[in-house]
């Protein structure tokens, strides 16, 4: 199953809409029971059992189901219990109820097309609905011929299948578009890294979790203005892309972002290292292997010591300023130079 399909089944909006629609279905059954002059609780145990099953299915589905098969099974079970509840009540209504069998079965087949996010599930629900309404002991009106019933079943099922397919495809397209828009809103267009907005949100999550092994780094390209002035903005953009390639997430790099202009940010995980200096030296070696066309000044802070994303960025900016004041192309941490970064100033020089 694709990521988008899995998202469709577990998307919060989809679950909420399903829950509301299922409650409306239960309300429909209760209304039929209330307005029916034939309903007698002590004489209609099957209806009561089906209603109890509906309530359980509604409550269990949004709370207890955590896997795709169980979520889908609950959806199919709900539709079958709903069909059973209505079918039982129509049976107890006698001749008046028999007249409602075909219209109600057809309506449920069409409505269930908007409940199922997989074609196989819809097929199982439809087969069960027709079985409950037409195969259980009943007496259809005498004027209802077998050919009419067959045509009716095929027509309604075919139309419902088209509705279900349209619903699934439309929902997937809508959710993929929403995912694409979210990605655009959280990604830097030039480098493909996270943008400032997304990275600050990630920092907030890190602060809230209190993870003990993360370092925040602010990186700034040295003398970057000279590159734009001397070689043009297109060359400057290429230099930014090269920097982004060097700091993409992987290994010890948990996340990276372009905050704006020539300024970048990186979250380093130091859980596997003996101390922070070793991690920062490894990061400097990584930059050196990337043969960047410009040197970088870096300011680093220890995230567990910060109480908010704002304070962490301010503290890292202070270290970055110290690195620049000390001569650039170096990493500063806790007010001290840890190591130098490669002084590759071929373009800027």
Q: 124 is written with which tokens? A: 């199982």
pTM: 0.62
**Do 62 and 21 meet the contact criterion of CB atoms below 8 Å apart?**
no
Q: Which residues contact 122 (CB under 8 A, 6 or more apart)?
A: 112, 113, 116, 160, 161, 164
> pLDDT 10s digit of each residue in the chain, 349 long?
444 445 445 555 666 666 776 777 777 767 766 666 555 555 567 667 777 776 776 666 655 444 567 777 877 888 888 888 778 777 777 666 677 788 889 998 998 888 787 888 899 999 999 988 887 655 555 556 678 888 989 999 999 999 989 988 887 888 788 888 888 889 999 999 999 999 999 999 888 888 778 899 999 999 898 888 888 989 999 999 999 999 999 888 999 999 999 999 999 987 666 678 888 888 888 888 887 888 899 999 998 877 788 999 999 999 999 999 998 889 999 888 888 876 554 445 5
Residue 139 three-state SS: coil
Domains and CATH numbers, the chain: 3-184 (no CATH), 196-340 (3.30.70.270)
């Amino acid at each position: 199953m694709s990521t988008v399909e899995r998202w469709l089944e577990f998307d919060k909006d989809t679950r909420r809409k399903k829950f509301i629609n299922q409650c409306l279905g239960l309300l429909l059954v209760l209304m039929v029971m209330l307005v029916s002059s034939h309903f007698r609780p002590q004489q209609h145990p099957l209806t009561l059992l089906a209603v109890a099953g509906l309530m359980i299915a509604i409550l269990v589905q949004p709370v207890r189901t955590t896997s795709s098969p169980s979520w889908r099974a609950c959806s199919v079970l709900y539709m079958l219990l709903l069909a059973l509840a209505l079918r039982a009540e129509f049976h107890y209504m006698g001749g008046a109820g028999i007249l409602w069998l075909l219209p109600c079965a057809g309506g449920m087949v069409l409505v269930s097309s908007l409940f199922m996010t997989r074609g196989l599930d819809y097929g199982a629900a439809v087969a069960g609905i027709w079985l409950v309404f037409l195969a259980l002991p009943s007496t259809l009106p005498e004027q209802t011929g077998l050919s009419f019933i067959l045509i009716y079943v095929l027509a309604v099922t075919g139309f419902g299948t088209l509705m279900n397919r349209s619903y699934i495809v439309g929902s997937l397209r809508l959710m993929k578009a929403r995912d694409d828009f979210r990605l655009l809103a959280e990604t830097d267009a030039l480098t493909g890294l996270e943008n400032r907005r997304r990275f600050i949100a990630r920092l907030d999550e890190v602060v809230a979790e209190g993870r003990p092994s993360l370092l925040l780094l602010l990186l700034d390209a040295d003398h970057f203005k000279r590159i734009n002035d001397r070689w043009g903005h297109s060359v400057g953009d290429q230099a930014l892309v090269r920097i982004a390639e060097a700091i993409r997430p992987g290994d010890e790099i948990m996340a990276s972002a372009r905050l704006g202009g020539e300024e970048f940010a990186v979250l380093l995980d130091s859980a596997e290292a003996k101390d922070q200096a070793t991690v920062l030296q490894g990061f400097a070696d990584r930059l050196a292997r990337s043969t960047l066309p410009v040197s970088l000044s870096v300011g680093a802070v220890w995230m567990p010591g910060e109480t908010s994303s704002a304070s962490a960025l301010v503290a890292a900016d202070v270290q970055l300023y110290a690195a620049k004041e000390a001569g650039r192309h170096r990493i500063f941490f806790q007010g001290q130079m840890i190591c130098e970064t490669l002084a590759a100033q071929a373009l800027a020089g």
